[in-house]
Structures are given as structure tokens and as C-alpha cells.
Amino acid sequence: MGSGKKFKCALFEILQFSALCIPVFIVIQRFASIVKRVKKAQGQNDGDANTAYWLVVASSIAYVTSVALIIWVPMKYMIAKKRKFFTERKKWRPVLLVYVILSTLPCFAFLIASTEVQINSNLELHLYDTLTDLPVSLVIFSLICVDVIDRLRKCRLTGQMQEAERDAGIHSPVLTYLEQVPTVSGQIDGNENENHGATRLEANGSVPEVTTPENQENRYSISGYSSRTASSSNYTTPYTPSGHLKFLSTNDARAEIFVDCFVFWFDTIELVRVAGLPQVFRSGWIFPIYIFSYISLLRLIVKPKNPILSSLGVFVQDIPFLFLRIGLIAVFGYVTPLIYLFKNLLVFLAFVYFNFMTKLKLFNTEQMF
């Protein structure tokens, strides 16, 4: 049992460290190749171009080594030793904070630097390297992998998931036992029926049973609740299809973590993809796209069940992305699908209406709608 936990911990640490290093190495190597190409286009000899290339590559190796030895490894050691600063965290995730600062931020910075180097060198259009695959497929995918690993760390990888493991960051529905409380009218009807029964017993010469508060409470708790509770509990029982479709009812929160992590970043992925289009790549719009995309990534630091996550997503993603997409469509046309524009608009309007407008006296009515 202990060896299995150690193997899982070692596997997660290797995967997270790989996600920290690989994007930085590849993005900086691509930047080095762009610098080499630009120097050759400017008429410099191959020796100078190769020297510049290897200097940039060596700087990436030195950066990753320094970050790993000075920040990443000591942080992981303190987490493993359960230091107070890390064990008492309730609302944020330090591993994701360090990753976003040390890996994602340098990658976005070198992506912007790659565009500026190519634009300032006056290269021909067919020589441009727009780096379309790096920000979307590599950088954000590595970010998602780190998020998935951080959520799965509290879960077992074998066997069925226990109820105590459901706080791993996925909002899964939990069935509760509902107990219906008898209404006042139901109690009055019950009292009337009992009075009629007592009258009939007295007419037959029988002695009616004296109703004490304890008996009355027990009677309501048994006769008034039991049948209704049994009927209401049927609605809380999950429907499990039988026959050949029984396998469709299977679900596990550990599998839903992967879906939740990818869906969480679809909006950011689409906006970063727009930065790789040639007309946007050569314009100044690439700066606000990468800047606001990076700001939206900071939501990853907050715990998935943190109550401020909803409002944080509106203020750091939907509102900036809404104005960005309106400007992009006005300048370049339909470079981004309108469905994402509608999504940002509707999420913002719904957030304002249901959280603020419904509290006003005008909307705080008892009508059906």
C-alpha cells in the first residue's frame, strides 16, 4: 500500500516537473531559431547566427535549472513535510501559482518577443513564424495537465472513489435524503378524523384513548412522516437503467476532473488561437490578447470550490474578453467565432442581473416569473 502511494507521488512529481520545463525549453528554442533566421536574413554569417542561437538555448537551460533548484524543489519539499504555510492553505493553490509565474509567464513573454523580432526585422511574409501551435497546444495543455494532477492528488487511481475524496475540485451532484414535513392543513385534517373516530367509539360504549403530547408527537412522527418519507425518498434514488444500457449510468468524479479542466479553459484557448492568425500576429493587438489571456490564467490559483471563483471569472475573463472580441471583429472581421462573444456577453449580463438586479425592489416581487 505504501509503495503504491510513493509510486503515485513520484509519477505526479515527474509529470508536473516535465510540464514546468518542456514548454519553456520548446518556446525558447523556437525563439532562438527565429533569432538565427533573422540574423541570416540581415546578412550575418552562419557563425554569428549559430552563436546567438546557442546563447539563447543555454539561457533557457540555466533558467530552468535555477528555478528548479531555488524555488520548485524547496517548495515541493516543504509541502511534503507539511509546513504550516502550505498545509493551512484553504483558498489558493501554491503549486499552480508558482507554475503560472515561472513557466506560463516566460512562455508568453518569449512568444511576444518572437513577434517583435520578426516585425522589426522586416522579413517577408512567407518567412514569418506565427507560432500557432505553441501557445494553444503546448503551453495551455501543460497548464491543464498541472491542474489535473493537482486535483487528482487527493484521489486514488485504483478502485472506486470514496465520498471523502469528492473534494478534489469537481462539483459533482450529491443525493440527499429528503424528509417531507406535514403541513398545517394536513394536521388539522388528521385531528378532525381522530375526533370523529373518538365520537364513534363513545357512541359504542368504548373508552377513547387519551391523547398526550408525547403520543401526539409520536403519532405525527410515525404516521405523518413514514409514508410521505418513503414516497419522497423514491425521488432521491438515482435512476439506474437496466439491460444493455446499464453501462451508460456509470460516472466517476475522477474522470469528470479531466472534462472540467479542459472546458474551464476553452474561452482562453480560443482567444490565444486568434493571436496566431497572420493579420493579428503582425498588429499591435497581440499585446492585449496575451496580456489579458495571462490574467485570465490567474484564476487557476484559486481553489475550484472557492466562492469567489465565479465573480473572478467574470471580472478577469468575460468582461476583458468581451471588449477584446468586439474590437477584433470591428478591425479584422470575424476572426473569432461569435459564439464566444455571445458567451462573454450573456455570462456578464446574467452575473449582474441575478446577483445585483434581483435584489432591487423593482425585481423583488412574488410573481411567477
Kindly report the backbone phi and psi dihedral angles of residue 98, in degrees, each rounded to the nearest multiple of 5, phi listed first.
-65, -40
Res 221: pLDDT? 42
Res 360: pLDDT? 79
Q: 128 and 45 in contact (C-beta within 8 Å)?
A: no
Q: How confident is the model at residue 237 (pLDDT cuts 50, 70, 90)?
A: very low
State the average pLDDT over residues 215-229: 42
Q: Which range among 16-20, 243-247, 250-254, 289-293 shows the weakest confidence by mean pLDDT?
A: 243-247
pTM greater than 0.85 (yes/no): no
Res 304: pLDDT? 81
Query: Residue 302: beta bridge partners?
Result: 92
Tell me which of 339 and 307 has the higher pLDDT: 339
Residue 361 corresponds to which cell in the numbers above? 425592489
Q: Please give, one letter per residue, the 3-state secondary structure of 288-324.
A: HHHHHHHHHHHHHHECCCCCCHHHHHHHHHHHHHHHH
Q: How confident is the model at residue 116 (pLDDT cuts 50, 70, 90)?
A: confident
CB atoms within 10 A of CB 113: 15
Q: 256 and 170 in contact (C-beta within 8 Å)?
A: yes
336: left (phi over 0), alpha (psi -120 to 50) or beta: beta
pLDDT at 224 over 60: no
pLDDT for 156-205, tens place per residue? Answer: 777 676 654 555 445 544 444 444 555 555 555 555 555 555 444 444 44
Q: How confident is the model at residue 285 (pLDDT cuts 50, 70, 90)?
A: very high
DSSP assignments along 61-80, one per residue: HHHHHHHIIIIIHHHHHHHH
Give CB contacts under 8 A, 24+ apart, made by 286-295. 286/112, 286/115, 287/112, 288/324, 289/324, 290/108, 290/111, 290/112, 290/135, 292/320, 292/321, 292/324, 293/108, 293/268, 294/104, 294/105, 294/108, 295/320
Please name which of 65, 75, 70 lies closest in space to residue 25, comparing C-alpha atoms: 65
Q: How confident is the model at residue 264 (pLDDT cuts 50, 70, 90)?
A: confident
State the average pLDDT over residues 12-33: 92
Between CA 194 and CA 191 the distance in angstroms is 5
Between CA 256 and CA 199 the distance in angstroms is 62
Query: Residue 92: beta bridge partners?
Result: 302
Cell 479584422, residue located: 332
Dihedral sign (CA 65, 71, 77, 79)? negative
pLDDT for 291-334, tens place per residue? Answer: 999 999 999 888 888 888 888 889 999 999 999 999 999 999 99
State the average pLDDT over residues 274-293: 90
Q: How confident is the model at residue 350 (pLDDT cuts 50, 70, 90)?
A: very high
Using a 10 angstrom Cβ sphere, with 0-12 exposed, 13-18 middle and 19 or more buried, the burial of residue 23 is buried
Between CA 130 and CA 114 the distance in angstroms is 8
CB atoms within 10 A of CB 253: 18
Tell me which of 90 and 61 has the higher pLDDT: 61
Between CA 142 and CA 106 the distance in angstroms is 14
Total residue count of the chain as it appears in this document? 369
Q: How confident is the model at residue 367 (pLDDT cuts 50, 70, 90)?
A: low
Continuous H helices in the chain = 2-41, 46-67, 73-80, 84-87, 94-99, 105-120, 133, 140-152, 184-203, 213-219, 225-236, 253-264, 266-274, 278-281, 286-297, 309-313, 319-332, 338-355
State the average pLDDT over residues 23-36: 92
